[in-house]
Amino acid sequence: MNKTPKPFDCEYSPQFAELLHKLGISLAISTYQAGKVIFLSAVETDKLIQLPRTFENAMGMAVSKNRLAVSTLNEVTVLKNDPELAFAYPNKKGVYDGIYIPRVNYNTGYLALHDMDFVEDKLVAVNTLFSCLSYIDDKHNFTPFWQAPFISELTPEDRCHLNGMAIENNKIKYVTALGNTNTSQGWRAKKMNGGILMEYPSGKIILNGLAMPHSPRIYNGKLYVLNSAQGELICVDPEKGTYEVIVQLGGFARGMSRYGDYLFIGVSKLRHNSKVFSDLDIAKTSFAGIIAVYLPYKSIVGSFKYEMSVDEIYDVKVLEDLVRPSLLSTDMKVHRLAISTPQKSFWSSSEDDNKQQPAKKTQANEKPNTYTFQLLKNISSTDLIKDLSALLIPDFILELEKNEFSGLLTALITLTDKQAIAMSVFEVSKERNAKIHSIFVNPVFRKQSIAKNMLMQIEKIFSENNIICAEATYDNKADNAEIIQKIFKKSNSINLTLT
């Protein structure tokens, strides 16, 4: 009996989940067809989790440090990641390592905004309806600053279907369009082979005859473009006006983001009964999802495919150093309860309750009033990953997944205001030997001697339980290895080995 598909049902290769897990990143996906922005994260080496939120006709996205901008049908929403609020998120405390909360809405009206980016700290959008590049700010619906030389006037006629821009060193370098036409919807007459790549700001056409190009990107000095209707990732030589096909993607390609040597590329379904696309090879193989490409080998190393709800992907962005981020859209009332100031962040109890509890102290030198400790004995690897992954060193999560421990695992959690802010995990063998596997302090609470106090508490536990010897291992390359080493040097009973 066939299983009935559920909303956002998907399938993915084991390598795809393992890759996100290994890199310690999440992906943000926009789809205007489904009206969603979806966060995709790996909770285990072989398991992905999705977090879909409603953003009407979501298309281009921009990511810069802790900001995320999303273009929607009539607005651009700018959200900010707040780790403090993430950790104290109501009903899911300690689950998320980041949360993007709406901070600004720009009422643009319908502009069919495509690619967006933060350029010199200004939000720049490809304004497809008006065939121009424009700033999005609080002065006007948009502020145009460039249009191709062949566009004669600023008018809402989508004359060339300008859609993509490539950024290098915080400067716009190239833009893509579906045609070099100057009449309303004129690009449609040759949309399968009229695509162009232009140099910015000259507007010089470097390549033409492309098949609906999108998402130009510059990585390590090389220019990559998605030759969308052919399902190709291509690398362009701007000086020669030529390109090389890097890999065939098997779907209508649009949306691309890089992390290290890996590209994450969005692909969309093509309608099999379409007169335009039916003759293309990718019409038979197309799907909606994400393809992971390893650039050094020019090969596909993993894929994620939707079986339900999503037929189209517009944009893909890498969320660096976020293993389990959350996202709130403006239609979720809970976002109104998130209060942030330069000094503190709060979750209000409710809109009708005037009591406001601080989520965290945000200043590094501000100390919580009191610490309390909670000891969880004989805790399983599965429960640690499921419930407390935000307080684990990433490398230790990999060890937990292997579950090759001979002794019993114990977790010591540090709390303040009933919030878990730090944790150490150690293993005790039958011979009464102990090994400390992980000490982690939420970044917001570091430089407050929490790790030191936790280690003192662990030494007390070892003494009371007649532990014969204790040791700890720590990655010498970790950003806080020097601090950990100094802390353990003061211990008389625990030997630290840096690996």
Q: Quick check: 221 pLDDT over 80?
A: yes
46 lies in some domain: yes
pLDDT of residue 351: 46
The arithmetic mean of pLDDT across residues 298-313, rounded, is 94
Residue 367: C-alpha distances to residues 84, 93, 355, 357, 444 (Å): 15, 20, 22, 16, 11
Q: Quick check: 165 pLDDT over 90?
A: yes
pLDDT tens, residue by residue, 256-274: 999 999 999 999 988 655 5
Q: Is 175 found in the same domain as 247? A: yes
Dist. CA 9–CA 53, nearest whole Å: 15
2 lies in some domain: no
Name every residue whose Cβ is closer than 8 Å to that of residue 95 and which is 6 or more positions away in sequence. Answer: 89, 324, 326, 387, 389, 390
pLDDT of residue 145: 98
Q: Is 238 found in the same domain as 120? A: yes
Q: Is 378 found in the same domain as 330? A: no
277 lies in some domain: yes
Q: Is 408 found in the same domain as 293? A: no
Q: Is 379 found in the same domain as 312? A: no
Q: Quick check: 399 pLDDT over 60?
A: yes
pTM above 0.75, yes or no: no
Q: Is 138 found in the same domain as 27? A: yes
The residue ranking higher by pLDDT, 265 or 369, is 265
The arithmetic mean of pLDDT across residues 80-100, rounded, is 90
Q: Is 391 found in the same domain as 308? A: no
Strand order in the sheet with 132-135: 113-119, 122-127, 132-135, 143-146
Q: Is 324 found in the same domain as 234? A: yes
52 lies in some domain: yes
- CA 410 centroid distance within chain: 32
Q: Quick check: 189 pLDDT over 90?
A: yes
Q: What are the two backbone dihedrals, phi and then psi, of residue 50, each rounded to the nearest 5 degrees?
A: -110, 150
350 lies in some domain: no
> Which residues span the domain enclosing 491?
372-498
Q: Is 394 found in the same domain as 280? A: no
Angle between helices 450-464 and 481-489 (to 10 degrees): 40
Name every residue whose Cβ is closer than 8 Å to that of residue 111 and which is 6 or more positions away in sequence. Answer: 125, 127, 128, 129, 130, 134, 141, 142
Q: Is 378 found in the same domain as 328? A: no
Q: Quick check: 38 pLDDT over 60?
A: yes
Closest CA to 61 of 25, 37, 34: 37
Q: What CATH number has the domain bearing residue 177? A: 2.120.10.30
- Residue the block writes with tokens 């008018």: 155
Dist. CA 182–CA 452, nearest whole Å: 68
Answer with the one of 335, 363, 397 that is the final residue of a domain.
335
81 forms beta bridges with 100
Residue 116: how many other CB atoms lie within 10 Å: 22
345 lies in some domain: no
Q: What CATH number has the domain bearing residue 447? A: 3.40.630.30
pLDDT of residue 362: 42
Answer with the one of 315, 335, 355 that is the final residue of a domain.
335
Q: Is 458 found in the same domain as 327? A: no
Dist. CA 374–CA 424, nearest whole Å: 11
Q: Is 319 found in the same domain as 382? A: no
Answer with the one of 335, 363, 387 that is the final residue of a domain.
335
Burial of 228 (0-12, 13-18, 19+ CB in 10 A): buried
396 lies in some domain: yes
The arithmetic mean of pLDDT across residues 28-54, rounded, is 94
The residue ranking higher by pLDDT, 444 or 214, is 214
Q: Quick check: 369 pLDDT over 60?
A: no
Percentage of the chain beyond pLDDT 70 is 87
Q: Quick check: 428 pLDDT over 50?
A: yes
Report residue 474's pLDDT band, with 50, 70 and 90 as the boundaries.
low
Least confident of 221-225, 282-286, 374-378: 282-286
- Residue the block writes with tokens 């692909």: 267
Report residue 159's pLDDT band, with 50, 70 and 90 as the boundaries.
very high
Residue 401: how many other CB atoms lie within 10 Å: 16
Q: State how beta strands 162-168 and 353-361 pair.
A: unpaired
Q: Quick check: 434 pLDDT over 90?
A: no
Q: Taking phi first (over 0 means left), then psi (-120 to 50 degrees means alpha), and beta for anything else, what does residue 121 get? A: left
Dist. CA 75–CA 83, nearest whole Å: 25
| Residue-by-residue DSSP string for 415-430 | EETTEEEEEEEEEE-T
Domain count, the chain: 2
| Residue-by-residue DSSP string for 324-391 | SEEE--TT-GGGGGEEE-SSEEEEEEETTEEEEEEEEE-STT---S--EEEEETT--HHHHHHHHGGG
Tokens standing for 172?
């716009």
Least confident of 52-61, 339-348, 438-447: 438-447
351 lies in some domain: no
